[in-house]
């Protein structure tokens, strides 16, 4: 008869049979371990292995595993970061704001408070439409209602959901919000320089992280590099100008098309302006997968800690922010924070 394994999760001891999935063992023993996709993609069930052995999962960080894909094969001790519990609330659209020719800010009033960390994302289901994943963000400019949940959504012409915004999905439309999910969220109390690199609507989670970082330490060193296709799509300029008011902040807006309006906006992609990185840096990146891969690799080569949120397209989806588009969040780290 196989030996029962002792599994310790955040100090709580449970029993598991060899071969049991770590997530299933936790749930069956009354530990509500955060999870979402059950496919090893979303990073919501990430745990750090402190002692023991497990089988069947690998991440960029050798100590990190996905509980939904990891089988218990010995006594095991794991630590789970404390994050807000996943919950579901209803809401309604109270405002739709065109912030670029193909980007709309959707402002939702929720019926109950929904807690999430800067950089996490929610499942958003407009009544009558399939769910999509979007990152809550903050107002680009003030004054603004601080109690609304805001999303930046890129609209594509033939998309089922995003193309309906402002046409069939209007102010007053009912919404179901579920979450939060994702592991590329802001970690406070880290001493190093914060480097933020994004493209397109990847700026939404990055803007939330930037504000959290500055609120924590107004004099911290921070570099924000963000990009768009052209100057008309660079909707984040008001937010970057707010960041630039702090003493140790450097902003680098980029566009892929030449423009003669200002030398402050660089020609090229955000990856062309990744600052020299060091092991003391904490990097957050979100947006197109190609950009996120390049930033992640640069962080890995230079030993920097990196939290990454690539917006991956899904079959039949409307944009890079869709139901399974947010189901990979990579962590690259040579440090232990």
Minimal CA–CA distance to 237: which of 103, 109, 120, 145?
A: 103
Please write down the long-range contacts of 136-139, taking CB distance under 8 Å and 24 or more positions apart.
136/204, 136/208, 137/203, 137/204, 137/205, 137/207, 137/208, 138/207, 138/208, 138/211
Question: What separation in angstroms does the CA of 247 have from each of 56, 66, 99, 243, 244?
Answer: 47, 39, 27, 9, 8
Q: Residues 6 or more apart from 145 whose CB is under 8 A from it?
A: 107
Question: Which phi and psi angles does 300 have, rounded to 5°?
Answer: -65, -45
Rounded CA separation 74/51 (Å): 10
- Residues paired with 76 in a beta bridge: 7, 52
Mind listing the domains of the chain with CATH numbers? 5-79 (3.10.20.30), 87-181 (2.40.30.10), 194-332 (3.40.50.80)
Question: How many CB atoms are located within 10 Å of the residue 123 CB?
Answer: 19
- Residues paired with 110 in a beta bridge: 91
Q: What is the pLDDT of residue 64?
A: 86
Q: What is the pLDDT of residue 81?
A: 85
Question: What separation in angstroms does the CA of 167 have from each of 94, 123, 160, 161, 170?
Answer: 15, 21, 12, 10, 6
The answer to whether residues 173 and 127 touch, using CB atoms and an 8 Å cutoff, is yes
Q: What is the pLDDT of residue 41?
A: 67
Q: What angle do CA 197, 224, 118 make, to 5 degrees?
A: 75
The answer to whether residues 195 and 223 touch, using CB atoms and an 8 Å cutoff, is yes
- Residues paired with 286 in a beta bridge: 198, 309
The answer to whether residues 131 and 124 touch, using CB atoms and an 8 Å cutoff, is yes
Q: What is the pLDDT of residue 57?
A: 67
What's the N-to-C CA distance of the chain in angstroms?
Answer: 41
- Residues paired with 104 in a beta bridge: 98, 153
What does the DSSP assignment read for 324-336? TTT---EEE-SS-
Q: What is the pLDDT of residue 320?
A: 42
The answer to whether residues 36 and 324 touch, using CB atoms and an 8 Å cutoff, is no
DSSP annotation of 60 reads S
Rounded CA separation 123/132 (Å): 6
* pLDDT per residue as tens, the chain (337 positions): 468 999 999 999 999 999 999 999 999 999 988 887 787 767 778 898 999 999 976 666 668 898 999 999 999 999 988 889 889 999 999 999 999 999 999 999 999 999 999 999 999 999 999 999 999 999 999 889 999 999 999 998 889 999 999 999 999 999 999 999 888 999 999 899 999 999 999 999 999 999 999 999 999 999 999 999 999 999 999 999 999 999 999 999 999 999 988 989 999 999 999 999 999 999 999 999 999 999 999 999 999 999 989 887 644 554 444 333 454 444 554 332 2
Minimal CA–CA distance to 320: which of 289, 296, 294?
A: 289
**If residue 308 lies in a helix (H) or strand (E), which one and from where to where?**
strand 305-310
Rounded CA separation 14/37 (Å): 24
Minimal CA–CA distance to 121: which of 272, 324, 331, 335?
A: 324
């Amino acid at each position: 008869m196989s030996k029962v394994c002792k599994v310790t999760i955040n100090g709580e001891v449970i029993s598991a049979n060899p071969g049991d999935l770590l997530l299933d063992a936790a749930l069956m023993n009354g530990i509500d371990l955060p999870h979402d996709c059950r496919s090893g993609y979303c990073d919501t069930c990430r745990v750090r292995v402190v002692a023991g052995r497990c089988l069947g999962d690998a991440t960029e960080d050798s100590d990190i595993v996905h509980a939904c894909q990891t089988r218990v094969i010995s006594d095991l001790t794991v630590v789970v970061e404390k994050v807000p519990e996943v919950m579901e609330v209803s809401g309604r659209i109270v405002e739709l704001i065109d912030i670029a020719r193909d980007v709309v800010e959707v402002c939702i009033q929720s019926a109950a408070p929904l807690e999430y960390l800067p950089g996490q994302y929610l499942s958003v289901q407009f009544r009558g439409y399939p769910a999509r994943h979007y990152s809550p963000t903050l107002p680009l400019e003030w004054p603004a209602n601080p109690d609304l949940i805001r999303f930046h959504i890129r609209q594509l012409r033939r998309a089922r959901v995003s193309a309906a915004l402002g046409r069939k999905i209007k102010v007053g439309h009912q919404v179901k919000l579920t979450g939060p999910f994702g592991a590329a969220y802001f970690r406070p109390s880290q001493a190093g320089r914060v480097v933020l690199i994004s493209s397109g609507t990847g700026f939404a989670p990055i803007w939330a992280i930037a504000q959290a970082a500055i609120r924590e330490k107004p004099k911290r060193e921070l570099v924000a590099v963000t990009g768009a296709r052209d100057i008309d799509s660079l909707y984040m300029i008001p937010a970057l100008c707010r960041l630039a008011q702090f003493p140790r902040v450097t902003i680098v807006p980029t566009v892929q098309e030449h423009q003669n309006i200002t030398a402050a906006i660089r020609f090229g992609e955000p990856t062309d302006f990744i600052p020299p990185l060091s092991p003391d840096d904490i990097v957050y990146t979100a947006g197109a997968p190609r950009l996120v891969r390049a930033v992640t690799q640069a962080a890995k080569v230079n030993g920097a800690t990196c939290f990454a949120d690539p917006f991956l397209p899904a079959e039949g989806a409307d944009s890079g922010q869709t139901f399974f588009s947010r189901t990979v969040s990579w962590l690259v780290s040579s440090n232990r924070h």
